[in-house]
Structure 1
Amino acid sequence: MKAALDRALGVLRDDVRAMQAYAVHPSAGLIKLDAMENPFRLPGELQQALGERLGAVAINRYPGERTQHLARALAAHAGLSEGKALMLGNGSDELISLLAMAVSKPGERVVVLAPLPGFVMYGLSSAYQHLDFVGVPLTADFELDEAAMLAAIAEHRPAIVYLAYPNNPTANLWDDAVIERIAHAAPGLVVMDEAYQPFAARDAMALMARHPQVLIMRTMSKFGLAGVRIGYLMGHAELIHHIDKLRPPYNVSVLNAEAGLFALEHAEVYALQAAALRDGRAALQAALARLPGVRAYPSEANMILVRVPDADRLHADMKSRGVLVKNVSGMHPLLAGCLRLTVGTADENAAMLAALEASLAALVSA
């Protein structure tokens, strides 16, 4: 048995066996504020309507036209202009993997470039496809280092430049003039990752209109459908046409497509939820500013990055008090001492603040 298992393991890539998988931490029994989810459920009458609608879906058939209907509805919702197209992904993660596949050229060095700290999947998907990932550190205040970015682009000639807008985990938008110059200098694709667009004051649609190599990636997860797993990529129709060839033919289920269409038909409900989260974010930032030893950074997302005296101890202590936030202090040197707080409901935010304040007091008295 062991010899057979060893032979089976031997056919796997060495780098895959050495990798660490993306970690999803257990959250049972905790107030879950670690993953930037929309905390609001649908009203009861809409839950019932959705249930009845999903119950009528022909799940005995493969997905077909209904996913195309969803793509058209999302294009209309985004205000996609003529000459542009949209493709669906099973969440943004799949789209990032498909982009890596699209630029991978066996025998050639292909580079993916992004600012750091940033979304971990850019680097992971690059590794999966044997691409070289180049990370360019942000400035100390989490702004794009324009000179370093342009120098890295000139040196490495990346096939893809990822710019998360707002960024994860720092939650900020970057200078549009700097982004414009990066887009002009990039020799390949520039992917604007707008996962948190419902909470931001600006988007990159005008940038995409000016630059045919600019793609915009969004998700319905922050819209309020994290469990449904729908991402979408927008850009010049010819680019999307070729990248879409790599998409598995049935990557979005009929149930997911129907749930997405239902959500878009009730977009006003989700818009009100996003507005409530923006208001909650402002209230949280004001409260965090009054806590001694805590620095809260500006946010255009549904999360707030804070720098605290001892991130490891505070994270553990808050968890012991029933509140789960994200400890990002080990992700990058620029994030030393940082926690990432998801904006929740008013009650969840109050519980998080109370846990943080109590944990700070315990740290001081220790």
Structure 2
Amino acid sequence: MSSESNLLSVFRPDVRAMHAYHVQDAAGFVKLDAMENPFALPPALQDALGARLARVALNRYPGTRINDLHAALRAHAGIPADMGLVLGNGSDELISLLSVACAQPGATVLAPVPGFVMYAMSAQLAGLRFVGVPLTPDFELDAAAMVAAVREHRPAITYIAYPNNPTANLWDDAAIEQVVQAVGEAGCGLVVIDEAYQPFASRSYLGRLAQRPHVLLMRTLSKFGLAGVRLGYMMGRADLIAQVDKVRPPYNISVLNTEAALFALEHADEFDRQAATIKAERERLMAALAAMPGARAYPSQANMVLVRVGDAAGVFAALKARGILIKNVAGLHELLANCIRLTVGTPSENDALIAALSDLLREPLTPSQA
């Protein structure tokens, strides 16, 4: 074996077998593949933000200004004063930090599948066992199966996405409470409610958090409209959050991210207006999909719509040829066979998407496809 090959053996076998996260090249495309807010800031706010960021001390490590961001997030989200709050470089980092903090020998992470890929990936990289519990064929939470899995595996962490990615639906509150109660009764671990898509959902878990001491609530400013800023936050019982904070790298939130987030929260009304437009466009897109014989769109409470078609790969390629980039999720889980995921765009972007899909999805789905 060559010395070059020996160097690769330094890396864990499971890491060598993994694939790096791939981001599609979106240059020149209508970009509807990553659940981003499609709206830029109005020019006046762009100028104001630019002037503000120009005054940031880039030569200094982040300092006490982060305390101002904590206070602003507490005020914005209505986080009770006695609850802990920890910030991450996006929700991804918070999931990773939680995995590291809970990585005791034999510990398990539990989550419904299909779901956000980082739950399983972060568990694997931290040496935790991951157990996925399939959703129902209509992508609802299988409460009985989840409760049985909690009792069997006694997970250290149970994730509940609210709404879920990539299915976009908001699961039944009674089913969620059954899982939360089962974890509490088992006394084995934490439930993490992931509200990444909260700006587009009709309900939140925040009002119940104080009565559920083993539940942590996670949100992000990515869907709020700041995907490029990378800022997630997690709240819950102060002593639990303090343990996650211990494994957080120092200065994980940059001075630029901090100042951009503060600016955005000061102008939350603009982002609320954008979210209202996105929700209205989501309903318009859903109505258009309902009239297409070759599509079955599932209920959405997020800024995306999951659609089953006759040939996901074919629809993806045809849309790409027309300059529209979406996500083919058919290979992520067997329940997602022939499913594509559409991000809700601007009105003009959605016009282009609806026109293209209306042309592509004229033929009815067969019973086996539906």
Q: Secondary structure at the match of 1:357?
A: helix
Name the counterpart of 1:83: 82
RMSD (Å) for aligned C-alpha atoms: 1.4
Name the counterpart of 2:46: 47
Name the counterpart of 2:321: 320
Q: Structure 1 residues 335-344 or 22-31, which shifts more?
A: 22-31
Name the counterpart of 1:343: 344
Name the counterpart of 2:157: 160
| 1:207–1:214 contact (8 Å) kept in structure 2 | no
| 1:95–1:231 contact (8 Å) kept in structure 2 | yes
Q: How many residues align?
A: 361
One-letter identity of the residue aligned with 1:280: E
| 1:326–1:340 contact (8 Å) kept in structure 2 | yes
Quote the offset at 1:23 in angstroms.
1.8
Quote the offset at 1:363 in angstroms.
11
Name the counterpart of 1:355: 356
Distance 1:60 1:234 in 2: 30
Query: TM-score w.r.t. structure 2 length?
Result: 0.95
Name the counterpart of 1:310: 311
Distance 2:361 2:24 in 1: 23
| 2:217–2:234 contact (8 Å) kept in structure 1 | yes
1:32 to 2:31 alignment: yes
Name the counterpart of 1:144: 141
| 2:163–2:171 contact (8 Å) kept in structure 1 | yes
Q: Cα deviations across residues 174-231 of structure 1 (Å, max 9, x unaligned)?
A: 1111111211111211000000000000001123111111001100000000000000
| 2:294–2:364 contact (8 Å) kept in structure 1 | no
Distance 1:132 1:272 in 2: 42
Distance 1:155 1:361 in 2: 47
Q: Cα deviations across residues 79-130 of structure 1 (Å, max 9, x unaligned)?
A: 011321211000000000001001001xx21100000010000000011011
| 2:86–2:234 contact (8 Å) kept in structure 1 | yes
Distance 1:212 1:91 in 2: 24
Runs of 5+ unmatched residues, structure 2: 366-370
| 1:180–1:207 contact (8 Å) kept in structure 2 | no
Distance 1:354 1:27 in 2: 20
Distance 2:88 2:355 in 1: 39
Alignment of 1:98-137 (within 5 A): 98-105=97-104, 108-137=105-134
Poorly superposed stretches of 4+, deviation over 4 Å: 361-364
Name the counterpart of 1:59: 58
One-letter identity of the residue aligned with 1:69: D
Quote the offset at 1:28 in angstroms.
1.1
Quote the offset at 1:273 in angstroms.
0.2
Distance 1:313 1:97 in 2: 35
Q: Secondary structure at the match of 1:191?
A: strand
2:166 aligned to 169, 177, 182, which one?
Answer: 169
Q: Structure 1 residues 14-23 or 92-101, which shifts more?
A: 14-23
Query: TM-score w.r.t. structure 1 length?
Result: 0.96
Name the counterpart of 2:368: none
| 1:277–1:343 contact (8 Å) kept in structure 2 | yes
Alignment of 1:155-304 (within 5 A): 155-186=152-183, 187-304=188-305
Distance 2:322 2:171 in 1: 35
One-letter identity of the residue aligned with 2:331: G
| 2:162–2:194 contact (8 Å) kept in structure 1 | yes
| 1:91–1:219 contact (8 Å) kept in structure 2 | yes
Q: Structure 1 residues 287-296 or 7-16, which shifts more?
A: 7-16
Quote the offset at 1:8 in angstroms.
2.3
Distance 2:282 2:189 in 1: 36
